[in-house]
Structure 1
Amino acid sequence: MSYSDVLSIFSGAFTTLLLSVAGIALGLPIGLGMALLRWGRVPAVARFVAVYVSLLRASPLVTLLLLLFYGLPNMGIEIGPIAAGVLALTMNTSAFYCEIWRSALLAFPREQLEAARAVGMRRSMCLRRIVLPQIARTSLPALVNEMSQLIKVTPVLAIVGVVDITRAAVRIGADTYQPLPPFYVALAIYIPIIFALVSVQRWIERRQARLEASA
């Protein structure tokens, strides 16, 4: 492997991080919003969200990606590989985030909401100051796990031409007829990314535990 080959893999790593961060940044709040709609028990909206989430969770990411990439242009909506990748990742991961958030909301004791409303707190303030901090803490391990999964499924985007870490390693292996070295480099990049994500989770958990102990 040459120096330029290593740079190509790192360029793919930047693409992987960019798409993953975009999918996470968009999917988290969208998933939370859908979970709140279902938790709020608005009849028509909650049912629609439930069907939407079920369909997305049942759809393979590669199928969703191809449907967006080839289907939207037929409807007059031009979309490039990167945009299609971000949209597919966001739609896919937001459905799983929705279920993670909803699980935490269902476990949340509604008595706390009733007590807060009894002392005059508005519903929006209750959500912001009471509900969200607690469900964020309980959902953190599952959310980080879904983030890790999202990063590890980004090679699927190569099917529409997105050059991520794995796609770059495959290309270099095919050009040099030495497939193992590029994959060693790719693995050496993936592991620190996932490790950093898990380390942030553990740091947040330790910090929260210290705050609770001092309270």
Structure 2
Amino acid sequence: MNFYDYLSFVYGALSTVGVSFVAIIVGIPLGLGLALLRWARIPVFGKCAYLYVSIVRSCPAVTLIMLIYFGLPQFGISLNPFVAALISFSITATAFNCEIWRSSLLAFDRSQYEAAQAFGMTRWVRFRHVLLPQIWRSSIPGLINEMTLLVKNSPAISVIGLLDITRAAQRIGARTYEPIPPLLLGFAIYIIIVMLLIELQKRLETRIRSAGI
């Protein structure tokens, strides 16, 4: 492999990390919001959140990104590939993160929330100081796992022309007629990204333990 091959891997890694990172940043708070709507048992909004999560979880990442990129122009909305990938991955991350947050909410002792309300705490104070610290602690493993799955699903962006790690490896292998070395390099890059996320999980858990949350 030459210099330009390695440069392709750099561009591919930037696309993979960029799309995944934005989707994570968007999906965590939006997923929490949907989970709270379901946990609060608000009839209309809770059912809408359930319907959204059910539909998105049933749709493969490749299908969803193609629907957004090729389908929206039919309604006069044209998106460049990177924006379409961001929207698609953010939609997916929101749905899956919603279920992770919801599982933590179901395990949360609701009587603590009601006791805080009886002491006159506002809704925001109850959420900030009673609910969020506990569900955040129990959700970290699931959220980090979802982040790793998001990174590993990133080759889906190649169907709309974006260069990711896997597509870079395929192009180089097809040109050099030696597919194994670029695939192994791509595999190593994925390992590094996932290991960084695992290290992030360890640091967060250590910080929570040291803070006594």
TM interval, shorter chain, is over 0.9
**Residue type matched to 2:198 in 1?**
V
Which whole-Å CA distance do the structure 1 matches of 2:207 and 2:100 have between them? 22
| Shift in Å, 1:184 | 1.6
| Map of 1:3 onto structure 2 | 3
Q: Describe the SS at the equivalent of 2:100.
A: helix
| Map of 1:191 onto structure 2 | 191
| Map of 2:146 onto structure 1 | 146
Which whole-Å CA distance do the structure 2 matches of 1:197 and 1:20 have between them? 12
Q: Describe the SS at the equivalent of 1:121.
A: coil
| Map of 2:106 onto structure 1 | 106
Which whole-Å CA distance do the structure 1 matches of 2:211 and 2:86 have between them? 36
Q: Within the alignment, does 1:208 sit opposite 2:208 as a pair?
A: yes
Alpha carbons 1:6, 1:185 under 8 Å: kept: no
Which whole-Å CA distance do the structure 2 matches of 1:181 and 1:3 have between them? 14
Which whole-Å CA distance do the structure 2 matches of 1:49 and 1:112 have between them? 25
**Residue type matched to 2:14 in 1?**
F
Residue deviations 1:148-190 (CA, integer Å, cap 9, x gap): 0000000011011110111111111111111111112111211
Residue deviations 1:39-67 (CA, integer Å, cap 9, x gap): 11110111111111101111111111111
Gaps of 5+ in 2: none
Gaps of 5+ in 1: none
Q: Within the alignment, does 1:172 sit opposite 2:172 as a pair?
A: yes
Runs of 4+ in structure 1 over 2 Å off:
none
| Map of 2:54 onto structure 1 | 54
User: What is the TM-score normalised by the length of structure 1?
Assistant: 0.96
| Map of 1:128 onto structure 2 | 128
Q: How does 1:38-117 map to 2 (within 5 A)?
A: 38-117=38-117
Which whole-Å CA distance do the structure 2 matches of 1:211 and 1:62 have between them? 41
User: What is the TM-score normalised by the length of structure 2?
Assistant: 0.97
| Shift in Å, 1:210 | 2.5
Which whole-Å CA distance do the structure 1 matches of 2:188 and 2:10 have between them? 11
Which whole-Å CA distance do the structure 2 matches of 1:207 and 1:41 have between them? 32
Q: Which sits farther off after the overlay, 172-181 or 145-154?
A: 172-181
Residue deviations 1:22-42 (CA, integer Å, cap 9, x gap): 110111111111001111111
Q: Describe the SS at the equivalent of 2:153.
A: helix
Which whole-Å CA distance do the structure 2 matches of 1:204 and 1:92 have between them? 24
| Shift in Å, 1:107 | 1.1
| Shift in Å, 1:124 | 1.3
Which whole-Å CA distance do the structure 2 matches of 1:178 and 1:168 have between them? 13
Which whole-Å CA distance do the structure 1 matches of 2:160 and 2:34 have between them? 29
